[in-house]
Amino acid sequence: MRSDTIKLGIERAPHRALLKALGIADRDLDKPFITIVNSFTTVVPGHAHLNQVAKAVKAGILAAGGVPFEFNTIGICDGLAMGHEGMRYSLPSRELIADSVEVMVQSHRFDGMVLISNCDKITPGMLMAAARVNIPAIMVTGGPMLSGVYKGKKVGTASMFEAVGKVAAGKMSEEELKALEDVACPSCGSCNGMFTANTMSCVTEALGMSLTGCATPSAVSAARLRIAKATGERAVGLVKEDLKPRKILSSDSFENAIMVDMALGGSTNTVLHLTAIAREAEVALPLSLFDELSRRVPHLSSMVPSGPYTLEDLDEAGGIPALMRELKDSLHLDAVTVTGKTVKENIEGAVVLDANVIRPRDNPVHQEGGIVILKGNLSPEGAVVKATAISPKMLVHKGPAKIFDTEEEAMKAILDKKIQEGDVVVIRYEGPVGGPGMREMLSPTAAIAGMGLSESVALITDGRFSGATRGPCIGHVSPEAAIGGPIAMLRNGDIIEIDVPKRKLNVKLSDEELNNRAKSWTAKEPKVKSGYLVRYSKLVQPASKGSVLEKA
């Protein structure tokens, strides 16, 4: 076993003494050492209950004959970080999480690990680390939050951000806003829709890195604890079988994950995260693959924020196994998973229990999948949009640009009612380098939706969007403004042309005009001049490459 490095031989007597200081007995020294990587924190609602999940995991490890150890990673709540300087740190935290897991696991020579996560950057960061260190690993996600109920309708975090726009438009009173605020988030867990956190949980199961049925049971359910205990037990089995992440994270499993993402209409952030995880697993995952699979796989589940169904509904309908069963003709069924079985074996008995939530393949919500890659003279390296969240009226749109160099400027203009029907709001210098940190733009997109403009106003940015965003919102425009991408050359009034069905994003300018503007362009002063974000901005790669850091 890997942990023999710190357990066996006369020269390791000091190491054994230190282990005995932790309560490790001689009889434990021939057992697998399994670390539990926990992102518990009392700051993040999605993680506040993870110590309870960890207790169940420990019980499973002990029951299977392993020795559990635990350490923590950091975790940022995107909802609390949204709309201010704190959001600059969200995506960069993914790299810190991956690095911290690597450092702890490599230093202490664990035989295997259980990853306990639940939110946007933490889940992919942990999976990146699992692929990087490549010791037997399995993830258990913490489960979704229960939905709130307001005036007879299910509500959640996205409802709150859109309510801000409704108040600004005079469509909701401040008293109603307070009443909504009090009921929108009724429990711990990841936010209730198919936002980035829950999309990543579903994608993790589809990748084969969590147990079958792990993604959708609620954070407060007994099922969540049963899954956690079974995960701990299975971690010991993975060590005994020497089944490692890179055996599971194959090109086939990544394609399976993308297809499940497309069928769910998941968050655009998964493009960044799957690309980053694949890089660590040394699997090629070009941006074009997302678009190719989007054309082949239909959208089967109309989930919040673009549809009516929540994670509770998806779970009751059969969860990810039932969805994958519906997609079986497209999936790579022989792909290996942490269960030790193939995808085909895992979904054998799965049944769709509600055909409204998980539609049959011959009666989809949309004929194509949720995520589309756009290219053109405004995004030569690509841009990303959640096509299933767009009104049919806005799939093709042409309008004048309203340019903003920060999210705050755009938000003020939106709330001051300076955005008119037909406009294309452009928020630039918010990319990985220029942000720095590639902030999510839920506040402006939700305000636009709340003001009733999501069927007449488009928004494009070199930043990114929350999974809670809906409407014609195009992100990850690459190259970004800070490195002289075409988005930096735009001026107020330039006509932007969006054609989602044809995968086009253009500005109505000649190549000559764009080149002339580029000659007079100068880089802006960095927005942040000290600390981690400065180092991050100097090492980060383009969004089209997953916003990962350069390898040394």
Determine the Cα–Cα distance for residues 185 and 450; give it in Å rounded to an integer. Answer: 19
Decide: helix, strand or coil at residue 70.
strand
Q: Give the list of residues 6+ apart from residue 1 with CB closer than 8 angstroms, or none.
A: 32, 33, 111, 239
From the list 28, 55, 54, 61, the residue with the least C-alpha distance to 236 is: 61
End-to-end Cα spacing for the chain: 29
- Read off the amino acid at residue 111: D
Q: How far is CA 436 from each of CA 285, 320, 375, 537, rounded to the nearest angstrom?
A: 25, 35, 23, 6
Instruction: Tell me the two tokens of residue 447.
Output: 């305000």
Q: How many CA atoms lie within 13 A of 439 on its CB side?
A: 28
Determine the Cα–Cα distance for residues 538 and 432; give it in Å rounded to an integer. Answer: 10
**Using an 8 Å Cβ cutoff, are 203 and 261 in contact?**
yes
Instruction: Tell me the two tokens of residue 278.
Output: 């694949």
What residues does 383 pair with on adjacent strands? 374
Q: How many other C-beta atoms lie within 10 A of the C-beta of residue 292?
A: 14
- Read off the amino acid at residue 211: L
Determine the Cα–Cα distance for residues 91 and 97; give it in Å rounded to an integer. Answer: 10
**Using an 8 Å Cβ cutoff, are 250 and 336 in contact?**
yes
Whether omega before 360 lies within 30 degrees of 0, making that bond cis, reads: no
Evaluated on CA atoms 412, 418, 421, 423, the torsion sign reads negative
Whether 466 sits among the annotated catalytic residues: the reply is yes
**Using an 8 Å Cβ cutoff, are 480 and 431 in contact?**
yes
Instruction: Tell me the two tokens of residue 419.
Output: 């955005």
Catalytic residue among 190, 294, 443, 466: 466
- Supply the residues annotated as catalytic: 466
